[in-house]
Chains A and B, each alone.
Chain A
Amino acid sequence: MVDPRVSIIDERMRDIRKVIAVSSGKGGVGKSLIASILGLTLAKKGYKVGLFDLDFTSPSTHIILGIEGVQPKEDKGIIPPKVHGLEYMSIVYYSRDQATPLRGADVSNALIELLSITKWGKLDFLVLDMPPGIGDATLDLIRLIKKAEFLIVTTPSQLAFETVKKLASLLNGLRVPIVGVVENMKMNQSETIRQQTQKLGLTYLSGIPYDPNIEKTIGKTNRLLDTRFAKKVEQIVPSL
């Protein structure tokens, strides 16, 4: 018995130039916000961009981007709808934003299913919003999408940065490219995380300040792009 879906994934990814997995060892560090704003920023610069929310049990990017009332089209597969300039894919199309309790094997299965039926077409960038941690989604991504590159998000906390080291060492061991590290929710000008990142031989992509006003912009894409947060995310683009 062979799972046939795995055999078609390369073909589905063929016309995508770069796949950027926004990931972290710890939860709540800002991956979804960064992935969403990075997607919007790249689209605004004229790139063809897809955004795929891979946090199946707690999807957030549709809320950040205020996406509602759209569904993919069916044409010998699934064609993600274009929203705010992004080809947008999420399990919420199928879970109708209700609780979807999934065990690890289910997460894998859903990921393989969506990767094998989604037709992205030609893209410059596919941005993936990953669930936290080094779990099923991360391992499957490494196994199934050979061209995936990781963008690792941390906070200034040593607790978060310790997980960056672990994730980076796993990825390095497997020769998976790491775009670099983004430090989010900075409260001061400390250079510690920058130095530690460089000591690991990784690129420090950007330091994003803690912005108490970001909450008010959630769901409003124009206002999201007007924040300091977005300006700092834009700094990542030349390194991609």
Chain B
Amino acid sequence: MHEWALAEAVIAAAAEAAEKERLKEITEVWIKVGELQQVELDILEFALSQLKTDKFKNAKFKIATAKAELQCRVCGHKWVFNKETLDKDAAEAIHFVPEVAHTYIKCPKCGSPDFEIIEGRGVWLESIKGAK
């Protein structure tokens, strides 16, 4: 349920962006969610709908997901994060703090925990649309 905290951040960031662009009203909020964090999209959407302020009253939240791509810094191997390869506790820990992936995931080729999360880590605000 910490999706609520992330949703709050999205609303705050979108409101800030609207302020910068001098938008009176926000009509669309584009969000990208990386699979590493295993965010529950239903909960995120529900939280967004509950948290939205006046400025967002007609806003549509468009959520796209991105595969989590990892690359080993030692041998260069690239792979896609798959939750099913982890036990429940490890997956849950990564859900809260994606960086602990370095505790539970190793490069499938050489066994190193020194990999880069190239894409698909967590929640990003991609863009907003609105009216001045």
Contact = CB atoms under 8 A, between A and B. Distances in A.
Interface string B21-58: 00000000000100000000000000100000000000
B8 interface: yes
B13 interface: yes
Contacts of A109: 98-99, 121
A7 B100 CA distance: 23
Contact of B13 (A2, A94, A95): A2
A74 interface: yes
Interface string A8-43: 100100000000000000000000000000000000
Contacts of A116: 5-6, 9
Given A6-B13, A78-B5, A100 B126 contact: no
A6 to B, nearest CB: 7
B6 A5 contact: yes
A226 interface: no
A10 to B, nearest CB: 9
B93 A4 contact: no
Contacts of B93: 93-96
B113 A101 contact: yes
Nearest to B101: A106
A1 interface: yes
B9 A113 contact: no
Contacts of B89: 96
A147 to B, nearest CB: 18
A68 interface: no
B114 interface: yes
B16 A94 contact: no
Interface centre among B9, B17, B94, B99 (most CB of A within 10 A): B99
Interface string A177-204: 0000000000000000000000000000
Place the interface of chain A in its size category: 35 or more
A99 to B, nearest CB: 7
A99 B122 CA distance: 22
Interface in A37-72: 56
A159 interface: no
Contact of A4 (B1, B13, B121): B13
A119 interface: yes
A123 interface: no
B107 interface: no
B124 A101 contact: no
A8 B16 CA distance: 11
B16 A78 contact: no
Interface in B58-109: 89, 93-94, 96-100, 102-103
Given A3-B124, A4-B9, A113-B122, A95 B100 contact: yes
29 contacts: A1-B32, A1-B127, A2-B17, A2-B125, A4-B10, A4-B12, A5-B9, A7-B9, A8-B12, A56-B99, A74-B1, A74-B2, A77-B5, A78-B96, A94-B97, A95-B93, A96-B103, A100-B99, A100-B102, A101-B113, A106-B99, A107-B99, A109-B98, A113-B98, A113-B99, A113-B122, A114-B97, A116-B9, A117-B5
Interface of A: 1-8, 11, 56, 74-78, 91, 93-96, 98-103, 106-107, 109-110, 113-114, 116-117, 119
Q: Which 10 A-B residue pairings sit nearest by Cβ, starting from the closest?
A: A76-B4, A4-B13, A77-B5, A8-B9, A7-B13, A7-B12, A110-B99, A94-B93, A4-B9, A117-B5
Given A8-B5, A94-B93, 12 more contacts: A1-B127, A4-B9, A5-B123, A7-B9, A7-B16, A76-B1, A76-B4, A77-B5, A98-B103, A101-B102, A109-B121, A117-B6
